[in-house]
Amino acid sequence: MVESLLGKRMACVLALAAAPLFAQSGDAAKGKAVVESSGCLRCHRIGENGSRTGPNLSEIGDKRSAEQLKTSITDPDAEVLAENRFVAVTLKDGSVVRGRILNHDAMSVQLIDGKQNLRSFLTANIRGYTILTKGLMPKPNLTDEQVADVVAYLSTLKGTEAP
């Protein structure tokens, strides 16, 4: 199960954003605290903090509207961008390696696993693999107010300019 990789506690965000009014209704500072205390960074990365396994949120405020961000929190399966898909690789011994898919072709598959290792498997050396498009992020247990706060915070993430 993908959840075993991500951890049910990892109530995180992903992808998507909201009408400006929605974003404005939340408190970005409170949202930042929610993100940092709810395990989001065990999968996601913001700036220099968090994991590289899930989608990087450092510039998510530029990429997704507030409404999309809200949807991605309250209904994580509603829209998963192709580049955020995961893959489950079944090895010859039956064990499974999961992670975010980075590439694949007729001969091999590449991913970043839960420990942030870049890994590559030859299809000849595995039983097979499945690309996972749903169930990648558990729905966080947040109040409507907390969701609004998180969306407000994420909407402020516009990346940083190179010095």
Q: Where are any strands of DSSP class E within the chain? A: 17-18, 45-46, 49-50, 86-91, 96-104, 108-113, 118-122, 126-132
Q: Least distance to another protein from the beta carbon of 81, Å?
A: 9
Q: Which of 83, 115, 156, 158 binds another protein (CB under 8 A)?
A: 83
Cα 94 to its chain centre, rounded Å, is 26
82 contributes a contact to another protein by CB under 8 A: yes
Q: Of the two residues 74 and 123, which places its CB atom closer to another protein in the complex?
A: 123
Alpha-carbon Rg for the chain in angstroms: 16
What whole-number distance in Å separates Cα of residue 5 and Cα of residue 107?
25
Q: Which of 95, 106, 162, 163 binds another protein (CB under 8 A)?
A: 106
105 contributes a contact to another protein by CB under 8 A: yes
The stretch among 33-41, 42-50, 69-77, 102-110 that binds another protein (CB under 8 A) is 102-110
